[in-house]
Structures are given as structure tokens and as C-alpha cells.
Amino acid sequence: MTLDALVSKYRFETEIYVSRPTMPPLERFHESLEEIWRSRWLTNGGAFHQRFEKALGVYLGMPHVNLFCNGTIALLVALQALRVTSGEVITTPFTFPATPHVLHWNEVSPVFCDIDPLSFNLDPAKIESLVTPKTVAILPVHVFGNPCDVDAIQGIADKYGLKVIYDGAHAFGVRVRGRSIAAWGDMTMLSFHATKLFTTVEGGALVSSSERLKTRIDFLKNFGIADQETVVAPGINGKMNELQSAWGLLQLETIEKEIATRRELTELYRSRLEGTKGLTLGTETLGVDRNYAYFPVLVDGKRFGMDRDRLFEVLKLFNVFARKYFHPLCSHFSTYRSLPSGSPDRLPVAERVAREILCLPIYGTLEPEHVARICDIVRSLAQSSPAR
Ligand code: T4K
């Protein structure tokens, strides 16, 4: 079949995006808004903020949570709280720009480390050779919600006395051996951006097991203010407001259903795409409760019949807007290009994954028939490699 014939057979009427936010029931949010209107309390640790922070800690099974206006500011503050403000930090180039940028803003030099070809996370076997006397911390990312090798990373951190701050922007609700993913490392950042599995429109959190850190972060995210006449640290404004917190409380009621729905969609994708020549699908890891936040595939252009960039463009003709998370690598950005650790020959796996990765649409309101149709499109393109 020609590409035109395939397009007229399978094209979606409306755009299918990589992600769509889960909205709370409007009438329930309206009730929260009425409460906010009555109280006229909009931010600065109001009643909804207090309730959400507590409820989130209970959901995660973690004692200390600090809510934030977004994940990036949360990560920025995490480094300040742990006094990671000079030297070098080992991190991944296969991530969203926020990860290395918070290091840059804290005057820390990122040292890029290559990734594992299956999990797309920092390869622990390659971390140790990058440790120098200047190294102060490791900043790994649980990419697409796949847990990093937390035991190996902690082993290296303990050996060299390094802090570990996890960028868990994608990892909401993930559990490893029955415990929240946020139980590992000195601190974990979660993002609640609109495109995330769990959202508060914009928003984020820091999660730790330390009461001392929780208190310090509470100061740092509120200008360092201890009381009306005392400022104890050079803080910033990182506060989550009451509307976001009310939204978050409602999201907690539906998050398990959202994860279950995405799991079903993931299984459908897998059953329909398994065995497609040139496509590599992710795998399940023993002992991990996943969150199914993303559905990434690797496209081997030669075997599939067209490369990732062509597939990305052709899918748009069908109204399917997949995303190349994360291409280009952060090590290619002008700010980091001159770093020796960012040289492509030192990051062969990350370079290949960034060339081949494609995230297909997944979200709770995506219909199973839509997933089936996306799979039909991808399989037809693979089989026929049609010319227009
Ligand atoms: N670390 C990592 C590893 C991250 O991935 C991120 C954020 C962060 C740190 C920083 O956390 P935050 O400071 O953001 O809390 C999106 C998000 O903006 C970003 O939060 C996220 N990672 C990244 C993976 O994805 P874009 O540039 O792809 O967003 P955008 O606007 O193109 O949205 C993607 C699709 O989602 C759209 O095509 C349609 C749909 N969409 C989007 C929005 C904003 C909606 O349906 N509704 C919406 O309101 O970055």
C-alpha cells in the first residue's frame, strides 16, 4: 500500500499527543475552589498545602515531603539544601535540560556519564572512572520511570563519600521491592507538570527521610524566612499554591486507576508491536512496580525500513505526535558542548539511544482502539516502507 493509501485508511480525526493531563472531576475541583474562595487563603502553606503534603507522604510511604511550584526549582533547592554548590556532579546526558541546568545554576560542573542500553539510566559500571577529588555528588535520573540501579549507585556514593540526588521527575508511584523509589539516595525530586502521570498543572516535590533536611528545605523554598523578623538562609520562592495543592489532593484519589489504565495500554502496545523488525520495546524489571508513564521504543532504521526521524515525521501525517525524548542529548547543548565528558566518543550508548528513541502516545484517556490503530500504522510502515 502507498503512504497516501495508508494515511487515508488510518489517519486520526484529531491530534493524538504523546501525553494528555488527567483532569480531576470539574465539580470536585469546583468544591475545592469554593473553599479557597471562602477562606481567601491562596498560598504560603495554607490548609490545602498542609493536607496535600501530608497525604502525599502517606501515599508514598515516606516521612518527609516538601511541595514545590515545579520540579526544576525543587531540584535547584535540593542541591542547595545538601550544599552541592561547587565542584563536579556526575549525571546523565540522556535527560530533560532541567537536570544539567540546575547544576549550572548552582555553579557545579556536570560530568556526563554514559547510560545503560536497556534502562536508559546512568550505567553504574561507568560512574567510578569519572570520580575525581572534585566530585561531590551523583545526580541520576529514573528515565521514563525505570528505576536506576539504586544499590550499585549507593555503593559508589558510600565508597567516595558522595551525595546522591535523584531526578525522579518521571517516577511518581514507582516502587522497588515494595518501597517507594524515593526511599533511595539523599533526596528525590518528583515533577507534577501537566504532561506527567501525576499532575498539579505545574508542581513538584522533594522527598527525603531526614527531618533536618525537611526543615531546611521549608526555609529555602520560602526566601529563608523563619519568622517575620528572622531570615536564616538565602532562600528562593519555590512554594506550591492552594489551587495546585487542591488539584493534587484530587489526583491522589485517581492515581492508582490511572496507572492501571496505562498498564493495560502498555500491554496492548507490547502485544501488538512485539516482533516488529527493527523495533526494540522496553522490558519489565523483577521487583519493580512500574508507573507506565511513557512508552518508549528504539527504532533501528536499517531493520525497520525507515529511521526514527522519518518515522517521527510520517506519524504526523496520521495526526500522531510522538516525541523524541531525549534528543538531542544535553551534552550537545551550547552550554555543555565544550565539556570533555560530553564528547560523543565517550557517550556511545547515549548517542545511539538519542538517535533511535521515540516515545509513543500514552495517557489514561487514550482509547485502546487508538493504541491498536497506532500499532497498525507502525506495523504497516515497517512492513511496506512505503514511498509517497
Ligand atoms: N527532569 C526531567 C527528567 C524532566 O523530564 C523534567 C520535565 C524536569 C526535570 C523538570 O520538571 P518540571 O520543572 O517541568 O516540573 C514536557 C514538560 O514541560 C516537562 O515538564 C517534562 N519534563 C518533559 C519530559 O515534557 P515538552 O517541551 O515536551 O512539553 P510540551 O508543551 O511540548 O508538551 C508535550 C505534549 O503534551 C504536547 O504536545 C501536548 C501535551 N500537553 C501539554 C501541555 C503543556 C497537553 O495535552 N496539555 C498541556 O497542558 O516538555
* Residue 148: closest CA among 174, 122, 111: 122
Spell out the alpha helix ranges (H) of the chain. Answer: 3-10, 26-39, 47-60, 71-81, 98-105, 150-160, 211-220, 242-273, 301-304, 308-317, 348-356, 368-384
Give pLDDT tens digits for 158-187.
Answer: 999 999 999 999 999 999 999 999 999 999
Q: What percent of the chain has pLDDT over 70?
A: 99
Cα(114)–Cα(336) distance, integer angstroms: 15
Judge whether residue 275 has pLDDT over 80.
yes
Tell me what the pLDDT averaged over the chain comes to: 96
Alpha-carbon torsion (182, 184, 186, 189), positive or negative: negative
Residue from 16, 70, 77, 96 to probe ligand 1 pocket by mutation (most atoms less than 8 Å from CB) = 96
Length of the chain: 388
What topology does CATH give the domain 26-250?
A: Aspartate Aminotransferase; domain 2 (3.40.640)
The structural domains of the chain, with segments of one domain joined by +, span 3-19+252-381, 26-250
- The one-letter amino acid at 247: W
pLDDT of residue 84: 98
Cβ count near 51 (within 10 Å): 14
- pLDDT at position 286: 84
Alpha-carbon distances of 80 from 62, 138, 186, 234, 355, rounded to whole Å: 21, 14, 13, 10, 34
Note the pLDDT of residue 384: 67
Could you tell me the distance, in angstroms and rounded to a whole number, from the CA of residue 55 to the centre of ligand 1? 25
What is the fold of 3-19+252-381?
Aspartate Aminotransferase, domain 1 (3.90.1150)
Residue 383: strand, helix, or coil: helix
Is residue 194 in contact with ligand 1, taking CB distance under 6 Å? yes
Non-local CB neighbours of 297 within 8 Å, separated by 6+ positions: 273, 279, 280, 281, 282, 357, 358, 359, 360
Pocket test for ligand 1, best of 174, 191, 195 (most atoms within 8 A of CB): 195
pLDDT exceeds 60 at position 385 = no
Helix axes 242-273, 47-60, angle to 10 degrees: 30
Q: Do domains 3-19+252-381 and 26-250 have the same CATH topology?
A: no
* 284 pLDDT tier (thresholds 50, 70, 90): confident
Q: For residue 256, is it left (φ>0), alpha (ψ between -120 and 50) or beta? A: alpha
Q: Which residues pair with 110 in a beta bridge?
A: 89
CA of 388 to the centre of ligand 1 (A): 32
pLDDT at 386 over 60: no
Task: Label the pairing between strands 295-299 and 163-167.
Answer: unpaired
Mean pLDDT of the region 346-353: 98
Side-by-side strand order, sheet with 357-360: 279-281, 295-299, 357-360
Q: Is the CB of 141 under 6 A from ligand 1?
A: yes
- Whether the pTM exceeds 0.95: the reply is yes
Average pLDDT over residues 325-352: 98
Q: Which three cell numbers stand for residue 340?
A: 570533555
Does the Cβ of 23 fall within 6 Å of ligand 1? no
Q: Is the CB of residue 232 less than 8 Å from the CB of residue 31?
A: no
Average pLDDT over residues 206-212: 96
- Nearest CA to 139 out of 118, 117, 116, 108 is that of 108
Distance 378 CA to ligand 1 centre (A): 24
The 10s digit of each residue's pLDDT in 135-158 is 999 999 999 999 999 999 999 999
Q: CB burial class (10 A; 0-12, 13-18, 19+) of residue 26?
A: exposed
Characterize the bridge pairing of strands 163-167 and 187-191. parallel
What confidence score (pLDDT) does residue 387 get?
Answer: 47
CB-based burial of residue 210 (10 Å sphere; 0-12 exposed, 13-18 middle, 19+ buried)? middle
Going by DSSP bridges, is the β-strand pair 109-112/88-91 parallel, antiparallel, or unpaired? parallel
What is the Å distance from ligand 1's center to 167 Cα? Answer: 15
| Ligand 1 close to Cβ of residue 200 (< 6 A) | no
**Residues 6+ away with beta carbon under 8 Å from 204:** 67, 68, 69, 70, 71, 72, 73, 74, 75, 169, 189, 190, 191, 192, 193
Instruction: Kindly state the average pLDDT of the residues 230-253.
Output: 98
Average pLDDT estimate for 274-302: 94
* Residue found by looking up cell 531526614 in the block: 210
| Averaged pLDDT for residues 85-94 | 98
Cβ atoms of residues 273 and 298 within 8 Å = no
Angle between helices 368-384 and 242-273 (to 10 degrees): 50
pLDDT for the residue numbered 285: 82
